[in-house]
Amino acid sequence: MFKRFMRSAAVQKCIGFLLAAYMVMVKYTTRWTIERAGVAAPVINNGKGLIGLTWHSRFLMLNAAWKKNWQKPHVLISLSRDGALVAYTTEYLGLKTIRGSSRKTGGSKAKGGSSALRAMKAAINENACVVITPDGPRGPRQRLGDGPLRLSKLTGAPILPCTFAVKNRIQFRSWDRFVLPLPFGKGMIIWGTPLTVPADADERDIKKYRDQIENEMNIFLADADRRLGHDPVDPDMSREPRS
C-alpha cells in the first residue's frame, strides 16, 4: 500500500518539488570549496557538448557545481518507477531529463538504450552537457560502466568527472551508501581530469580509460570524505549490476 502510494505521479511530483527546493537551500547555505576548477574550465568554457559524470550516491549535489551560463545539463535517468521521482526533482531544478540506461549505451539490450542514445547524441550536438551517474541505477557502487566511454567515442565529446562531499549529512545504508546533504555546513567539489575517447579506440583502450577515470573519481571522493571528517566508502568489488 505504501509503495503504491509513493509511486503515484501526484505524490512523486510533490516530493520532487520539495526535494528540489531543499537542494537549492543546501546549495546556498553550504560553504563550498572548489578544487581543480582550472582543469575543468577549458572543457566548459569552449561551449561545446560534454559528458559529465558523478557517482550515484552524490548526484543530489550536482546543482551546487553547475552555473546557469554553462552548457545546459541533460540528466540521464533510469526508466524505473523510482527513477520518475528523480526525474521530477531534476526538472524542478530547471534541468532536462533523458530516460534510459547508461550500462550498455548503444547496445540493443539496454532498457531504453536506443532512444536514450539518440537523445544524448542530440543533446551533445546542441552543445549541452549529458550528465550520467555511471554506477546507477543498480550498481555496482562506484564502478564505471562502459556506456559513457562509448558515448565519448561515438560523439567525440569529452568526459568530465566531478565528485562531491559534505560535512553535514545523512548517509543511508543503501547499495550506493546514498548521501543526503544537510544545510549550513562545509562542502567540497573536486573536478576530475577531462578525457576524450578516440574514435579508433579498441576494447583494450576502453578498459584503460574506464579504469583511469574510475580510480581518479574514487581517490578524489575518498580524500574529500576524509577531509570533511567521514570514513570513505569502498567501491563494490563486483562489476555486475545488482539484480
Of the pLDDT bands very low, low, confident and very high (cuts 50, 70, 90), residue 136 is confident
C-alpha 221, offset from chain centre: 13
Q: What cell numbers appear for 22 in the block?
A: 531543499
Strand order in the sheet with 96-99: 31-35, 186-191, 159-166, 50-53, 129-132, 73-77, 96-99
Closest alpha carbon to 179 in 188, 170, 190: 170
* Assigned architecture for domain 2-227: 3-Layer(aba) Sandwich (3.40)
In angstroms, the CA 45 to CA 33 distance is 20
For 30-61, how does the pLDDT look when each residue is reduced to its tens digit (9 = 90+)?
Answer: 999 999 999 999 999 999 999 999 999 999 89
138 CB-contact burial (10 Å; exposed 0-12 / middle 13-18 / buried 19+)? middle
Average pLDDT, the chain: 91
Q: Looking at the chain, how many residues does it have?
A: 243
In angstroms, the CA 211 to CA 217 distance is 10
For 177-195, how does the pLDDT look when each residue is reduced to its tens digit (9 = 90+)?
Answer: 999 999 999 999 999 999 9
CA angle 229, 234, 237 (to 5 degrees): 180
Name the residue type at position 183.
P
pLDDT of 92 above 60: yes
